[in-house]
Amino acid sequence: MGRLENRVAIVTGGAQGIGEAICRRLADDGATVVVADINGEGSVAVATGLSGSAVAFQVDVGDADEVAALFAMVQEDFGHLDILVNNAAIVPFTPWEDVDFEEWRRIQRVNLDGVFLMSRGAYEAMKDQGKGRIINMCSNTVFAGTPNMAAYVAAKGGVLGLTRAMATEVGGYGITVNAVSPGLTASAGVLASPHQEAFGFVETLQALDGRGEPEDIAPTVAFLASDDARWITGQLINVDGGHIRH
């Protein structure tokens, strides 16, 4: 019997990278996983490969109507929602010089507005159950001020603030809201971007040797989703090989 048996979980950005590893880990722990991603084909591929029951749903988390359709499907097909993992994000590599208002809005729309829209929907689904888990993917860039990602770092700072504020307001419904902060991690997105050139430098800053993999992040998310984390809310956990000691 897995510790997440009979739980329904939505994982946004589940089609690849850290989100895919989270989907796999939650499914292995017994959860029914909704792989929600703007990449419809990738979501189907991940959902098909998961242990247990899983479904794919194509959604742009920055689009309020599409998000509403996702929660309508979950209510219709499963009747309840136990876990939301807000993992979807755009991971840009854009020097400050090139961050114009359009680029700024492109990132906020997905990385912060998307977390708001999904959390609003999850709250409505969870509030009458007396229990729920929301886990937000933050980033240790909020502590490092990592270059070439100003709009992203600002959005993740917003995610951290929302995590704390929302935890306060929904605790009375038995809903916990926590954040997980990876450091540089070898996801599909990072490996296909200039960020992959930073692994050597980031390793010199870590307490531990080596490179963070998506499978290093997923177990902390599964823990926060489990009953063992009942008494933890409004917190941020760094999972970054000791890069940031906060």
Question: In whole angstroms, how close is the CB of 197 to ligand 4PL at the nearest point?
Answer: 10
**Separation of alpha carbons 152 and 108, rounded Å:** 8
By beta-carbon proximity to ligand NAD, the closer residue of 12 and 176 is: 12
Question: In whole angstroms, how close is the CB of 93 to ligand 4PL at the nearest point?
Answer: 8
Residue 16 makes contact with ligand 4PL by CB under 6 A: no
By beta-carbon proximity to ligand 4PL, the closer residue of 109 and 131 is: 109
Q: Site residues for ligand NAD, window 137-156 (CB under 6 A)?
A: 137, 139
CA-based angle 215:221:227, to the nearest 5? 135
Residue 134 makes contact with ligand NAD by CB under 6 A: no
Residue 62 makes contact with ligand NAD by CB under 6 A: yes
Set 71, 143, 152, 223: catalytic member: 152
Which token pair is 37? 């991603």
Could you tell which of ligand 4PL, ligand NAD, none binds residue 119, using a CB distance below 5 to 8 A set by kind? Answer: none
Contact 56, 35 (CB under 8 A): yes
Residue 202 makes contact with ligand 4PL by CB under 6 A: yes
By beta-carbon proximity to ligand NAD, the closer residue of 25 and 174 is: 25
Whether 123 sits among the annotated catalytic residues: the reply is no
By beta-carbon proximity to ligand NAD, the closer residue of 127 and 164 is: 164
Residues noted as catalytic: 152
Q: Which spans of this chain sit near ligand 4PL (rule: CB under 6 A)?
A: 91, 139-141, 144, 146, 183-184, 190, 195, 198, 202
